[in-house]
Structure 1
Amino acid sequence: MLYRVEGIVIRSMDYGEGNKIITLCTETSGKIGVLVRGAKKIKSRHAAMTQLFTYGEYVFFRQNGGLGTLNAGELIDAHAALREDLFLAAYASYACELLDKTLQDEEVGSFWFTQLKACLEGLSAGKDPQIVIHLFEMKILQAAGYGPSFEACISCGRTDDLLVVSPRLGGKLCRSCRHHDPAALQISPGTFKLLSLFEKMDLRRLGNIEVKEATKQELKTVMRHFMDMQLGLRLKSRQFLDQLDKYEI
């Protein structure tokens, strides 16, 4: 059966002497693997369609839900700037690997696709990459069914001014319920405000916002705890990103 889909390349690997297999995140068909014959050859007309972060229209033949074979393709946005900048490439690679490891092959939903598309566009547009990525992480948690709640106590539903969040329980704790998680994190008002904003905001609505460095560091710590506790993924791209962060000025 012939398929025509818009997709973003979230993984690309060599296959044989001249071929590549790409994994696409699509809006209508979930996550799909596609074989691109001759993609490694110098004169290949499909080579550009196999580059990581590429957004395009892909036409491929697929039978019985297996690996597709590319027939034709048209670039919509190559996101070349992301591959040319080491730091942006690291952030974008993390976003793609995170979605790849979280999204199952049989899962279909436009939310995954639209949020990844917005993430890559935000990085390309020069928005703060750390803020973009943490918001994307929040959307991934929500799409996977582990979205934290910050509006009221996750245990009893009461609201108070205690700024304590529990990555293990999945959200805010009030004074009466803090004992349920001794490892819960006390955070600053600025970080709590961002987390509350991220909970409700679609990544497509993110503008250019300035966040204090101390707040960003605390936000990174909190989101790292949520991601590790709720998803427990070990990603090579995150390890590389952590190494780069040590040298970023």
Structure 2
Amino acid sequence: MLYRVEGLVIRSTDYGEGNKIITLLTPSYGKQGIIVRGAKKLKSRYGALAQLFTYGDYSYYKAGTLGTLNSGEIIESFRELREGLEGPAYAAYAAELTERSINDDEAAANLFHQLKACQNALVEGKDPQIVLRLYEMKVVIAAGYAPLLDECASCGRQQGPFRFSCNAGGALCTSCRHRDPTAIELDEIVWKLLRVFSNLDMRRLGNIMVKESSKRQLQLVLRRWIDTYINLNLKSRSFLDQWEKYGDMLGERMKRPEPLSETEAGDGMV
């Protein structure tokens, strides 16, 4: 059967001497594996369609598990995400997290648009650490593991202060925090950011300015949440962690001024 879809390449691996197998994230059919014959050859007609992060229009035949590319056209190459070190590090993490977190053929229309918006935000030079924290939230929601942020996960109390508990499922109030001694105390602005991230469509993401201390708390919370509920060993995450730790010493990481305000997301300040 012949299919035609728009898709983002979230994985690309060598297959045989001259071919590649790509995994597309599509809005209609979720993840789709496609063989691109001759993609590794220098004069390949479709080699560019097999590159990681590419957004394209793909036509392929599929009778079993894998499809075979029939034709295709690049809509947006996202070439900038394959250059240097910082862009590929963050974009590869977003792609691998997506590929490993959702099942094949699972409906993924919203996540497709969120990933495309994530890639656009990285190309536009928005703070990659915040872009990735926001996208991590979109992935855990798509995977069915959204944290409870507006009320106590144990008793339902809606008035804080709260601590964040991965074991309990999100917020824990003062009366219930004894249920998880490992629950994390967060700054109020971090709670606000988590709630914004939970509801904000990445296509509406505006300019962002967040303190380094808030960034560290956001990373800690979302990484622990992902480790608890999705539990993935991602090669791209290990590299990204090293990059964020040593990037300044290597002199490759973009220099960003110290923010003046907590954050600006969407149409307003939070």
| Corresponding residue of 1:55 | 55
What does 1:132-147 align with in structure 2 at a 5 Å threshold?
132-147=131-146
Q: Return the offset for 1:163.
A: 3.5
**How far did residue 20 of structure 1 move?**
0.7
Q: Match for residue 200 of structure 1?
A: 199
Q: How do 1:60-75 residues align onto structure 2 when only pairs under 5 Å count?
A: 60-63=60-63, 65-75=64-74
Counterpart residue type for residue 6 of structure 1? E
CA distance in 2, matches of 1:155, 1:199: 20
What's the counterpart of residue 180 of structure 1? 179
Contact residue 152 and residue 162 of structure 2 kept, 8 A:
no
- For residues 149 and 206 of structure 1, the distance between their equivalents in structure 2, rounded to whole angstroms, comes to 22
Query: Structure 1 stretch 46-55 or stretch 175-184: which is displaced more?
Result: 175-184
Percent of aligned pairs sharing the same letter:
54
Gap regions ≥5 residues in structure 2? 249-270
Distance in 2 (CA, whole Å) between partners of 1:142 and 1:84 is 30
| Alignment match, 1:242 | 241
**Deviation of 1:67 (Å):** 0.8
Task: Look up the match of 2:124.
Answer: 125
SS in 1 for 2:53: coil
Residue 159 of structure 2: SS of its match in structure 1?
coil
Query: Does 1:3 find its partner at 2:8?
Result: no
TM-score normalised by structure 2 residue count:
0.89
- The 5-angstrom pairing of residues 142-161 of structure 1 reads 142-161=141-160
SS at match of 2:247: coil
**2:246 partner SS:** coil
Structure 2 counterpart of 1:92, one-letter code: A
Give yes or no for contact 2:162–2:174 (8 Å, CA) kept in 1. Answer: no
Letter of the structure 2 residue corresponding to residue 129 of structure 1: P
Secondary structure of 1:34's aligned partner: strand
Query: Is the contact made by 1:163 and 1:189 (CA closer than 8 Å) also made in structure 2?
Result: no
2:220 corresponds in structure 1 to: 221
- The DSSP-based 3-state class of the residue aligned with 1:240 is helix
Matched residue count: 248
TM-score of the aligned structures, taking structure 1 as reference length: 0.97
1:15 maps to 2:40 = no
Work out the CA distance in 1 between the residues paired with 2:90 and 2:75.
21
SS at match of 1:186: coil
The gaps in structure 1 that reach 5 residues or longer are none
Deviation at 1:85, TM superposition (A): 2.7
> Aligned partners of 2:24 and 2:210: how far apart in 1?
33
